[in-house]
Amino acid sequence: MDAPLLGNGAEKIGEVGESLVVNEVRKQLYLAGPLIAAWILQNLVQMISVMFVGHLGELALSSASIATSFAGVTGFSLLAGMASSLDTLCGQAFGAKQYYLLGIYKQRAIFVLTLVSIVVAIVWFYTGQILLLFGQDPEISAGAGSYIRWMIPALFVYGPLQCHVRFLQTQNIVLPVMLSSGVTALNHVFVCWLLVYKLGLGNKGAAVANAISYLTNVSILAIYVWLSPACKNTWRGLSKEAFREITNFLRLGVPSALMVCLEWWSFELLVLLSGLLPNPKLETSVLSICLNSGSLAFMIPFGLSAAVSTRVSNELGAGRPQAARLATRVVMMVALVVGILMGLVMILVRNIWGYAYSNEKEVVEYIARMMPILAVSFVFDDLQCVLSGVARGCGWQKIGACVNLGAYYLVGVPAGYFFAFVYHMGGMGLWLGIMCALVVQMVLLLAITLRGNWEKEASKAKDRVFSSSLPVDMTT
């Protein structure tokens, strides 16, 4: 009698475990799908602007490209990084059902990011002179300086946009984010055409178009938050409480920014180093194409990263550490499958992918040699990205910033320089250096995640949320 009973019990336990995994996969894919589409569509805004400028001439294209890269390094990466602290704050507060805190956190983040934008705007105003100091061509520097000055209004809209996206994402509201990004991307084509060609503003029009489109996107989301019943508990209007506990926000916001910026800057540094190689035009072109291709593919793990950040922060805030642990293990399995499949696709298309960017045989053949390395590095990049999402969900941004500093600047960049300039491997050597950084980053984040005490993290989340809670008479 005992054996059949034990067998049925084991079978039921297995079924329950399997159903939990399937349910978790379903939740993560529901979040990740729209977010992947949203990030791709948001990134299209600046890409479309550069495409329109490209038809104005080589100088205009070069100026806009350098200005866009400089804007990403000095401004957009910083704002996106600081806004990602809301993954922890809003996500854990939502899980703990302290809904009113989400609106306070969002307002506080917008206020801080606006102050940061003022400082960045001053830097952008002198971009032309800064580029000259770094030895850039005077004409290109002047053009880039002019382009980025006209893009300063976009800076003050981009921060609130990122805060609204995180505010909604952490509540598992992702379809409006995708739809608003889609409307914005379609509208951006018309706005660019109108300003660049119809009104004859040239590259200045393309820069202003970025601000208009970001404003369109954040306006749609703000109206949704204001009117939607789904946000009635999390958005209760403007509050002076947003101006309190700024230092507490910065304790998480600054490491969040460093975590994003240290990684972002290392890839931009690759392009700068490629200009020092023999045949710099070829090396820079190929490396830029690889970065562009990698960035496009990266949107998939980036969506998964945002999804698991939400799942982990929600579950820790709700006091369910084992559910957070399950979400982490599930996303690692999903990311591994996605990484291998995308890597295989890159290898299969390696001989034709270059034609999407150039008709030059030398460029196409070089890209074909680079694609297998890009494929392998994507697997590690895919895994580190979702593990970074877990880190944001737990509030491990300080640890993540230290990991990224060590992986990229103590290992990746020196290794890339060594391979490229000592072993004379060119752009391939630079990319191998970044792959070394990705491996180190992934291994360190994996070790930290596997050794994590989930019960302790749930307790920390509770302390974080309730230490920020407002007095009862202020929550009604």
N-term to C-term CA, the chain: 59
Closest CA to 49 of 221, 199, 219, 185: 185
Better-predicted residue by pLDDT, 264 or 94: 94
Judged against a pLDDT cut of 60, whether residue 16 lies above it is answered with no
At residue 58 the predicted structure's pLDDT band, cuts being 50, 70 and 90, is low
Judged against a pLDDT cut of 60, whether residue 1 lies above it is answered with no
**Region 360-371 average pLDDT:** 86
Q: What is the pLDDT of residue 142?
A: 87
Domain ranges of the chain: 26-244, 251-471
Q: What is the pLDDT of residue 52?
A: 82
Q: Give me the count of residues in the chain.
A: 476
- Residue 130 sits at the vertex; the CA angle it makes with 113 and 149, to the nearest 5 degrees, is 55
Better-predicted residue by pLDDT, 179 or 6: 179
**Region 150-167 average pLDDT:** 95
At residue 468 the predicted structure's pLDDT band, cuts being 50, 70 and 90, is low
Better-predicted residue by pLDDT, 405 or 141: 405
- Cβ–Cβ < 8 Å for 116, 249: no
pLDDT in tens, 416-431: 999 988 888 888 899 8
Better-predicted residue by pLDDT, 253 or 473: 253
Task: Give CA separation, 380 vs 109, 155, 391, in Å.
Answer: 31, 32, 16
pLDDT in tens, 36-56: 999 888 888 877 887 787 777
Task: Give CA separation, 251 vs 85, 187, 258, in Å.
Answer: 10, 38, 12
**Cβ contacts of residue 140 below 8 Å, gap of 6+?**
59, 62, 63, 66, 131
pLDDT in tens, 307-358: 999 999 999 999 999 999 999 999 999 999 999 999 999 999 888 888 876 6
User: Taking all residues of the chain, what is their mean pLDDT, rounded to a whole number?
Assistant: 87
pLDDT in tens, 74-124: 899 999 999 999 999 999 999 999 999 999 999 999 999 999 999 999 999
